[in-house]
Amino acid sequence: MNMEKIFNKEAEVEVLSSILLDNKSLANIVDFLEYDDFYMVSHKIIYKAMLDLYSKNENITAITLFENLGSRSEEIGGVTYMSQLIASGTSSLLIKPYADIVKEKSNNRKLIVELKKALQNLEKGDGKYIDTLNSLQDCFMGFNSNKKNTDTMDTILQNYLSLLEKRLKGEDQGMLLKTGLSSLDNFIGGFERHNLNILAARPSMGKSLVSLTMAINMAVKSNLNVAFFHLEMGEIPTIERILSNTATISMKTLKTGKLKDDEWSRILRSCDKISKSNFHMFNNIYTLIGITAECKRLKFQKGLDVVFIDYLQLIEIGKSKENRNLDISFISRKLKLLAKELDITIVVLSQLSRAPEARSNHRPMLSDLRESGSIEQDADLVIFLYRDEYYDSDTKDKNLIEFIVGKHRNGTVGTVKMRWSGEYQSVGPLVKTY
């Protein structure tokens, strides 16, 4: 192996000499460069000693380094090598680009190790390929983000002020991700990154339809990277729902295939828009580890903003815990952590207990989630779907669907009513908010 490919001695020397020239320069790299990123053992020892002195707020000089190293000072070449480091220094202003080179070479070496390990495991037949794939993806994600979360409060506040300014100008596409359902977006603002959102209802209330509508809107209209995991329906029923909605063609017509020329044209236009968007649909992934692996792959290779999962109670985790409620708690917590790790928002559909059926007012409430582990606790936003027409054919709210915001960690709760069309698999504009 060509050693020049996996480490750069000059860059390592420049980093160390820059710190000796100006201790303050260490602050520019301490958040991402670790002692193990150096290739030469002597440089690892020196940098680790520097970090130790820095953490104690002590001056970093040749004398304090020798004092800190004690008997290990001979391992680095003694006084002679330390003098060479000091003499090699040019300018501490260049410490960041040199540190970037050291980090890059370190990542290359780590990647070589991981790839060799993966190859050996596969050749030996040890473990499952999905475990090897997940390990590599975790490794890649780690390389993709060198910086640690060490921002000062001043930096955090400045970032927030910039975000407010973008919101004022209507330029923010970062944190608030619009669903494309304007009435709902006006009420909740949109989904937020790092958040776990629950879309819950009793069967036949329209969870799949609403989530598919949101997903297509976000991918086609907002040009976001969207992943949709459908654990219940197959590809054909899912596509039919999407095309019925986007091409405004009744499900009955699609089922019979008796399409008019203009309907064919609308379907082809819809297919073209969807195929060119960043909408990714998965109908054969059922496990939490599989969903996690696919999300990480998409994030690394193509980018990822939003994940929809239909639905929570169908996710498998392999070896079950003591009961299904504990399984659900485990899954919801892992999904919440995944949203934060990948800087995305996750929307999970969930079934409700039978409690609403026993009440005179069948509208769901947060207590109906409590039989499903800790969903209520982990969720940042909980939206219930309700159609009164399902229970009362003579209701005044015929062809309406209610979005009941039961929990909103960063906003208000309330209800949004919208138009509902089962025939065309669509959700229409706001009728009333209260």
Q: Determine, yes or no, domain membership for 157.
A: no
Phi, psi of 170 (to 5 degrees): 70, 25
For 300, residues 6+ apart whose C-beta sits below 8 A from its C-beta are 137, 140, 141, 144
Q: Do 409 and 381 form a contact (C-beta atoms < 8 A)?
A: yes
**In terms of domains, do 89 and 43 share one?**
yes
For residues 376 and 230, membership in a common domain is answered with: yes
Give the structural domain span for 255: 170-433
- Which CATH number belongs to the domain containing residue 418 in this structure? 3.40.50.300
- Say how many residues make up the chain: 434
Q: Are residues 89 and 178 located together in one domain of the fold?
A: no
pLDDT at 346: 95
pLDDT in tens, the chain (434 residues): 555 578 898 899 999 988 988 888 888 888 888 889 999 888 998 899 888 888 888 888 888 888 888 878 777 776 677 777 777 766 677 888 899 999 989 988 888 888 888 888 777 776 666 677 777 766 766 665 555 545 566 766 777 777 677 767 766 555 688 888 888 888 998 899 899 999 998 888 888 889 988 999 899 888 899 999 988 777 888 888 888 888 888 888 888 888 888 888 888 888 888 888 889 988 888 888 888 888 888 887 888 999 999 888 888 886 655 677 788 888 888 899 999 888 899 999 988 888 888 788 888 888 887 656 578 788 899 999 998 888 888 888 888 888 999 889 888 899 988 888 777 777 766 544 43
CATH of the domain at 125: 1.10.860.10
Secondary structure of the chain as H, E, C letters: CCHHHHCCHHHHHHHHHHHHHCHHHHHHCCCCCCHHHCCCHHHHHHHHHHHHHHHCCCCCCHHHHHHHHHHHHHHHCHHHHHHHHHHHCCCHHHHHHHHHHHHHHHHHHHHHHHHHHHHHHHHHCCCCHHHHHHHHHHHHHHHCCCCCCCCCHHHHHHHHHHHHHHHHHCCCCCCEECCCCHHHHHHHCCEECCCEEEEEECCCCCHHHHHHHHHHHHHHHCCCCEEEEECCCCHHHHHHHHHHHHCCCCHHHHHHCCCCHHHHHHHHHHHHHHHHCCEEEECCCCEHHHHHHHHHHHHHHCCCCEEEEECHHHCECCCCCCCHHHHHHHHHHHHHHHHHHHCCEEEEEEECCCHHHHCCCCCCCHHHHCCCCCHHHHCCEEEEEECHHHCCCCCCCCCEEEEEEEEECCCCCEEEEEEEECCCCEEEEEEEEC
Q: Residue with structure tokens 């000062």?
A: 152
For residue 136, tell me if it sits in a domain.
yes
Please identify, among 143, 178, 201, the residue that sits at the C-terminal boundary of a domain. Answer: 143
Is 29 buried (19+), middle (13-18) or exposed (0-12) by CB count in 10 A?
buried
Whole-number Å distance between alpha carbons of 298 and 303:
6
Give pTM, 2 decimals.
0.67
**Predicted local distance difference test score (pLDDT) of residue 199:** 93
pLDDT number for residue 431: 45
CA distances from 378 to 28, 197, 317, 332, 336 (A): 36, 9, 18, 7, 7
Residues 113 and 175 in one domain: no
Inside any domain, residue 251: yes
- Does residue 254 belong to any structural domain of this protein? yes
Same domain, 181 and 292: yes
Query: Of the candidates 125, 143, 161, which is a domain's last residue?
Result: 143
Structure tokens at 139: 């490794």
pLDDT at 80: 72
Domain membership of residue 160 (yes or no) is: no
φ, ψ dihedrals at 309, nearest 5°: -130, 120
Residues 279 and 364 in one domain: yes
Contact between 222 and 173 (Cβ < 8 Å)? yes
Residues 6+ apart with CB under 8 A from 324: 313
- Whole-number pLDDT of residue 405: 92
Name 421's bridge partners.
Answer: 426
Residue 319 phi, psi dihedral angles, 5° rounding: -70, 120
| Residue where a domain stops, chosen among 143, 161, 193 | 143
Residues 68 and 209 in one domain: no
Report how far residue 267's alpha carbon sits from residue 62's, in angstroms, rounded to the nearest whole number. Answer: 74
Quick check: is 155 in a domain? Answer: no
Please classify residue 219 by burial: count the beta carbons closer than 10 Å to its beta carbon, then call 0-12 exposed, 13-18 middle and 19+ buried: buried
151 belongs to a structural domain: no
> Are 305 and 264 within one domain?
yes
What's the structural domain count of the chain? 2
Task: Give CA–CA dist 419/422, Å, rounded.
Answer: 10
Q: Are residue 124 and residue 217 in the same domain, yes or no?
A: no
Q: Do residues 272 and 312 both lie within one domain?
A: yes
Q: Are residues 336 and 378 in the same domain?
A: yes
279: β partners: 226
Q: Do 194 and 297 belong together in one domain?
A: yes
Report the 10 Å Cβ neighbour count for 57.
6
152 inside domain: no
